[in-house]
């Protein structure tokens, strides 16, 4: 589904990502892991068009999306969440999710202004769709609460809800479990499984290794912008280079 070949990104003199190759197949849950600063978020930014690559290309469903604008890539079906501030603080949960029903269904500016029956039907559909997503993630009790007044766990769910309601074919989750307690982590993992079960492919960046082992079909390891391992989670866990990459970091810190 997603093919990345030779992806490279230089920031000035610094090589953030070098000659990265990766493929993601439809229906998988793939984990992208690596120590802090390894280039994971840069990868997300490159795939979703937030920054253009220096070299290499990205194919999504056989279509070249390298260097395209983020909203165009979202229209093609790749949607991401963000590590921080993944939601619209001064709006209710419902409004948050409704906002990202922008593409589905799409409506023009003029029909919105004149409140045509066609537009009203589309708004109804969007509302229905938004409530579906909210219920899917178990947030219907707080749908009218202001996003910024909700606890952290809910806020991360809102981020996922926003991404989901854009009907992604490929969903990129940027550290969805950060700052969650054990209960919240388990609940979120259930949601990710549900997401996969409706046919959405997931690429996940996470630091919570136990969660990664539990939920991912495959794992790709990145360090210093290069791919250092790839494969089944259990195998990768035992990979020498991977252990070194993580231990190396903690040894320096010691």
In angstroms, give the least distance from the CB of 101 to another protein: 8
- List, in sequence order, every residue forming a beta bridge with 135; answer none if it has no partner: none
Q: Which is nearer to another protein, 60 or 227 (CB)?
A: 60
54 versus 70: smaller Cβ distance to another protein = 70
Six token digits for residue 248:
């190396």
Q: How far apart are CA 171 and CA 154, in angstroms?
A: 19
Secondary element (H or E) of residue 43? helix 40-47
Least distance to another protein, CB of residue 174, Å: 10
Question: What CA dihedral angle connects 152, 154, 157 and 162, to 10 degrees?
Answer: -100
Site residues, another protein (CB under 8 A): 48, 50, 69-71, 74-75, 79-82, 85-91, 95, 98-100, 102-103, 107, 109, 112-115, 119, 123, 126, 159, 162-163, 165-166
Taking the least distance from each CB to another protein, the nearer of 59 and 75 is: 75
Q: Is the dihedral of CA 163, 167, 171, 172 positive or negative?
A: negative
Identity of the residue, 49 or 218, whose beta carbon is nearer to another protein in the bound complex: 49
Longest Cα–Cα distance in the chain? 65
User: Quick check: helix, strand or coil at residue 92?
Assistant: strand
CB of 132 to another protein, least distance (A): 16
Tell the smallest beta-carbon distance from residue 152 to another protein (Å).
Answer: 17
């Amino acid at each position: 589904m997603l093919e990345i070949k030779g992806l490279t990104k230089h920031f000035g003199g610094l090589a953030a990502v070098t000659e990265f190759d990766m493929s993601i197949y439809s229906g998988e849950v793939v984990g992208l892991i690596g120590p802090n600063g390894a280039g994971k978020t840069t990868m997300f930014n490159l795939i979703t068009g937030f920054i253009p690559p220096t070299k290499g290309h990205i194919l999504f469903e056989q279509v070249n999306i390298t260097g395209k604008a983020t909203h165009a890539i979202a229209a093609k079906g790749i949607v991401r969440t963000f590590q921080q501030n993944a939601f619209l603080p001064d709006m209710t949960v419902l409004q948050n999710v409704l906002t990202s029903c922008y593409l589905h269904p799409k409506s023009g500016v003029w029909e919105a202004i004149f409140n045509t029956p066609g537009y009203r039907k589309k708004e109804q559909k969007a509302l229905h769709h938004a409530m579906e997503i909210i219920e899917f993630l178990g947030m219907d009790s707080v749908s009218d609460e202001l996003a910024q007044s909700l606890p952290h766990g809910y806020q991360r769910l809102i981020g996922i809800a926003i991404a989901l309601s854009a009907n992604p074919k490929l969903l990129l989750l940027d550290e969805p479990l950060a700052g969650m307690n054990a209960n919240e982590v388990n609940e979120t993992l259930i949601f990710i499984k549900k997401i996969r079960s409706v046919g959405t492919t997931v690429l996940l960046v996470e630091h919570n290794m136990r969660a990664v082992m539990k939920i991912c079909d495959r794992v790709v390891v990145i360090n210093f912008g290069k791919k250092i391992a790839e494969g089944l989670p259990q195998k990768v866990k035992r990979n020498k280079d991977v252990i070194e990459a993580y231990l190396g970091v903690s040894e320096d810190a010691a």
